[in-house]
Structure 1
Amino acid sequence: MQWKKLTVGPVQENTYIIYNRENEAIIIDPGSEGKRIIQNIESNQLKPLAILLTHAHFDHIGGVDEVRERYDVPLYIHKREADWLGNTKKNGSLYFGQSITAKQASHILTDNDKMLKIGSFSFVILITPGHSPGSVSYYLKGANAVFSGDALFAGSIGRTDLFGGNQKLLLQSIHQKLLLLPEETTVLSGHGPETTIGMEMDSNPFLSGF
């Protein structure tokens, strides 16, 4: 199992394309530059199976419709943010003077969902609200990696001043879900460089004293 990171859009959001030996692929958070994402998929002869969203902020959904229309694949999102796709106030784009939306998701996750199997891909679903109410992290045990969206960053945590944000809840999510993963787990965030669970446990200033 391998992945590619494409940093897209004006706020430098990380889109991830995970793929296996059969060139099947899962796309996480196609945030912008849909044509560039499609070009990367096609130049590597990948076959997308689904799009997973860690959350529905505008910088994570801007390329969804373009990619989905090209490949006709299902879109997964948590129930608490299903209506954010079409709501510019909730998804934050209105706050930044934009109007970014995406069509309705075909698959809705809930707090009761623990696993997600798509083809040969098996994700552990970690419900990690705080940055936004429906934030989800996807743990790919076989690749020793977690796609944390905007919950946890290298040396930082997600902002909580946007609609539905809650810092106390975010810190609980990080400590009770993400920091319980093996320390060598690679953390692939929605912005910035990759890190590991162990590195964040040792040095992230936002996590001390909680």
Structure 2
Amino acid sequence: MEWHQIPLGLLQTNCYIVSKKDNSCLIFDPGEEAGKLSSFIQEKQLTPLAIILTHAHFDHIGAVEEIRQEFNIPVYIHEKEADWLVDPTLNGSQLFEIGKLVKGNRADYVLKNERELEIGEFIFQIAKTPGHSPGSLSFYFKEAGFVIAGDALFSGSIGRTDLPGGDHAQLLKSIHEQLLILPEETIVLPGHGPATTIGQEMDSNPFLNGF
């Protein structure tokens, strides 16, 4: 199994493509620049099976509709942010005045209390990691040794909590109870910036000290 990090849009939001040897793949957080993302998929001759969202802020969902329609694949999102895909006031594109309103169709699958998801040959664990947003999720690929953490945990930082629905105490609780319990060698794939590891953040992330 391989993962590919593709920064997209003005905020350089990390989209992740996770692929297997049979060239099937999953797309996490297609935030913008659908053409760039599509070109990468075609160049690698990949076959997308689904779009999966860590959360639904505008910079993580801007290319959802174009990619969904191009490859005719379903979209997965947590129930607490199901309305955000269709409402620019909720996903932040209206608040931040980014030049366009991000508004699409509803997700095909709404995640509630699932702990594991199986799509094609992919099997991975789901962890609720709210705090940055109320429906934030992280996705742990145990055998491959990485977790897609969205905007919960970054290299040397954590997600902002000053947006609607954000909660700083809840975010710290999520990180400690859902992410820092993973093996220290686990690679953390964040929504922005470079990859890190659980061990590195345990040792040096200033936002996690003294929790």
- The question of a shared fold, defined as TM-score above 0.5 by the shorter chain, is answered with yes
Identity of aligned residues (%): 55
SS of the aligned residue for 1:18 comes to strand
* Structure-to-structure mapping, 1:27-66, within 5 angstroms: 27-66=27-66
- Deviation for aligned residue 1:119: 1.0
- 1:86: which partner in 2? 86
Residue 95 (structure 2) aligns with: 95
Equivalent position of 1:178 in the other structure: 179
Amino acid at match of 2:69: E
Secondary structure of the equivalent of 2:70? helix
The 1-side partners of 2:156 and 2:94 are apart by 28
Work out whether 1:197 is the aligned partner of 2:193: no
Residues 21-56 of structure 1 deviation map (CA, whole Å, 9 limit, x = unaligned): 000000000000001101100111000000100000
1:105 aligns with 2:107: yes
After TM superposition, give the deviation of residue 200 of structure 1 in Å.
Answer: 0.2
Give 1:87 shift: 1.2
Look up the equivalent residue of 1:30 and give its one-letter code.
P
Deviation string for 1:166-185 (max 9, x for gaps)? Answer: 00000000000000000000
SS of 1:124's partner is strand
Return 88-97 or 145-154, whichever deviates more.
88-97
Within 5 Å, which residues of 2 pair with 1:109-188?
A: 109-110=111-112, 112-188=113-189
Distance in structure 1 (CA, Å) of the matches to 2:27 and 2:56: 14
| 1:11 corresponds to 2:11 | yes
Shift of 1:89: 1.5
Query: Counterparts of 1:204 and 1:95 in 2: how far apart (Å)?
Result: 30
Q: Distance in 1 between matches of 2:67 and 2:210?
A: 42
Q: TM-score, normalised to structure 2's length?
A: 0.98
Q: Hey, what does 1:73 align to over in structure 2?
A: 73
TM-score, normalised by the number of residues in structure 1: 0.98
Please identify runs of 4+ aligned residues in structure 1 that moved more than 2 A.
none
Q: CA deviation at 1:102?
A: 2.3
- Runs of 5+ unmatched residues, structure 1: none
Q: Which amino acid aligns with 2:107?
A: A
Helix, strand or coil at the partner of 1:83: helix
Aligned residues: 209
Aligned to 2:36, the other structure's residue is in SS state helix
**Is the 8 Å Cα contact of residues 122 and 140 (structure 1) preserved in structure 2?**
yes
> Contact 1:125–1:138 (CA<8 Å) still a contact in 2?
yes
Partner amino acid, structure 1, of 2:104: A
